[in-house]
A and B are shown apart, each in its own frame.
Chain A
Amino acid sequence: MTTHHLEIKDLTVAYQRVPAVHHISLDLHCGHCIALLGPNGAGKTTFFKALVGLVPKETGEVSFGGHGKVGADKDIAYLPQRSVIDWDFPVTVRGMVEMGRYMRIGNWGRFGKADDDAVDLALRTMDLADLADRQISALSGGQQQRAFLARSLAQDAHVFLLDEPFTGLDKTAQDLLGQAIRKLASAGNLVIASHHDLKSVPELFDQVIFLNGELIAFGDTLEVFNEENTARTYRTHIFSGMHEHHSELARST
């Protein structure tokens, strides 16, 4: 197993001084499929966006593999919710995966044999080789999700942040996507997916993060995925009064 890990120290993200997620410290190791659980508004998407530098960090540090991260990076890939993508965009599955290579070769680098090979490999790994020439709207939901994974794979990313990848998938598609992310994890990558269907957590993920404004619990699914943590995450109100406390702290400093 690789020793790469994603280290998050005291991460706080605020929108106009109101913290959305605060004081999160985590040490996540590659080779795991991690579920990010929490009610709506718990800051799951914000957490992801902070990791890739899409929203500014109020405090804290994120580092991967030992070197500090200041923002966008090719090691960490963020996959947004399927609904925000314009699937009518004139691009084939292959073209979309090729976009993943662009940040490797830059704006003017030549798209060479190595890049073609990387794209082919990514398509095969995600079982999309047969569909490579289809326009992206002609894919099913699960296939679209896998196409996005293939794109990040072509980018040579090591950390995959998936925003609700299983939403709206039927059982078969869910199983296929589950296989795909386990394949990525066992190849030494780190997969973190925000998730809503609690029933399917044990079969899909081997670790769990409970998040509701702050970190509630993190650990192996077998240990921390229990009634108590679920109740603490989902039944408490967001920030559970802590918000007042923190803004007072912020004012006094």
Chain B
Amino acid sequence: MQRALFGCALIGFTNGVLSAFIVLRRLALMADAMAHSLLPGVAVALILFGLAPGNLFFGALVAALLVGLGVQIISGSSRIKEDTSLGLLFACSFSLGLVLLSLSPAQVNVTHYLFGNILGLSDSDLWIIYLIGFIVLPTLVAFQRPLLLMMFEPSVAASQGVLVRLLNYLLMGLLVLSMISSLQAVGVVLALGMLIAPAATIYLCSDSFAAMFWGGGILGMIGSCLGLLVSYWLNLPSGACIVLVLGVIFLLAYLLSPKYGVLSKFLRRRHLHEESLARWEEQSAISSRAPNASEEK
């Protein structure tokens, strides 16, 4: 349990920090597709090399890169647009993964990869999570400035000498890495939740990019640990609980964020209305008094 909590905190933090970039760069669909395309890689690695986390890791990496490349090739060489080729490829590769897993000689529990099982975290799993965290976080911090310029406006960034295309690939690479690390915790299907919810929540509460960056990480960490504890106490599936907790936090921000919350906006609008009503009444009182005042003179 302690090991699971530790892993959860690190995965939550890494994914949370990265989520700022996913949300602002509008990569949510891309990230979803990538996550699903990890499955055939896992399956092939399982069949060819057996059930060792290192193998699964490389299988997933290769699969995600192939799908990413395939999307670029199909959308670049035909009239099919990027979102279409993305949707097509990820559905196909996900299906391929399911078929391969059912054909695999070793009896594996498919749900383990679909929805994660953080309590089954082994030592080598934890090592991979560490490794990925130590690659992703420093890279993001180091390239924070050019990434920020690129996300704000790619063409202006390019005109300032930022290597936009290269940074995009870098971001994709980091995305795949951190998704692989969350494979164990929440699985292929739910990985997206950890990669979007934290930054989306902060986005509703703050106008600072730094807050989104670090706050996303901290929120991801807290949410993941909380989710794990809830799943432990209530004996519920861990991945689903983690994503649900993050979702509930997002919902709170959506409703109650002081600046951009729907409910607080609604309350404030009423307040504004009262203000203008008061002003109107005041004005009409003055104008109705005005003729009297002139009569008195």
Footprint of B on A, CB under 8 Å?
Answer: 49, 52-54, 71-74, 76-80, 84-86, 89-92, 95-96, 99, 102-103, 107-108, 135, 155
Contact = CB atoms under 8 A, between A and B. Distances in A.
Q: Which of B143, B156, B159, B207 has most chain A Cβ within 10 Å?
A: B159
24 contacts: A49-B159, A54-B155, A72-B158, A72-B159, A72-B160, A77-B159, A79-B156, A84-B153, A84-B155, A85-B152, A85-B153, A86-B152, A86-B153, A89-B24, A90-B24, A90-B206, A90-B211, A91-B208, A95-B208, A96-B152, A102-B145, A102-B146, A102-B149, A108-B142
Given A90-B203, A102-B145, A108-B142, A80 B153 contact: yes
B148 interface: yes
Contacts, number: 71
A72 B155 contact: no
Contacts of B156: 78-80
Interface string B274-296: 00000000000000000000000
Given A90-B203, A91-B207, 8 more contacts: A53-B158, A54-B159, A72-B159, A79-B156, A80-B155, A89-B151, A91-B209, A108-B142
B254 to A, nearest CB: 15
B88 to A, nearest CB: 26
Interface string B2-24: 00000000000000000000001
Contacts of B145: 102, 107
The A interface is mostly helix, strand or loop, or mixed, namely loop
Contacts of B142: 107-108
B209 A53 contact: no
B278 to A, nearest CB: 24
User: What 5 pairs between A and B have smallest CB-CB spacing?
Assistant: A72-B161, A52-B159, A135-B207, A78-B159, A102-B145
Contacts of A90: 24, 203, 206-209, 211-212
Interface residues of B, number: 24
Interface of B: 24, 142-143, 145-146, 148-149, 151-153, 155-156, 158-162, 203, 206-209, 211-212
The B interface is mostly helix, strand or loop, or mixed, namely helix
A91 B151 CA distance: 12
Contacts of B155: 49, 54, 78, 80, 84
A91 B158 contact: no
Contacts of B209: 89-91, 95
Nearest to B147: A107
Contacts of B148: 99, 102
A54 B158 contact: yes
A72 B209 CA distance: 25
A103 B152 CA distance: 14
Contacts of A85: 152-153
Nearest to A136: B207
B161 A103 contact: yes
Contacts of A53: 158-159
Contact of A107 (B143, B152, B158, B206): B143
Nearest to B148: A99
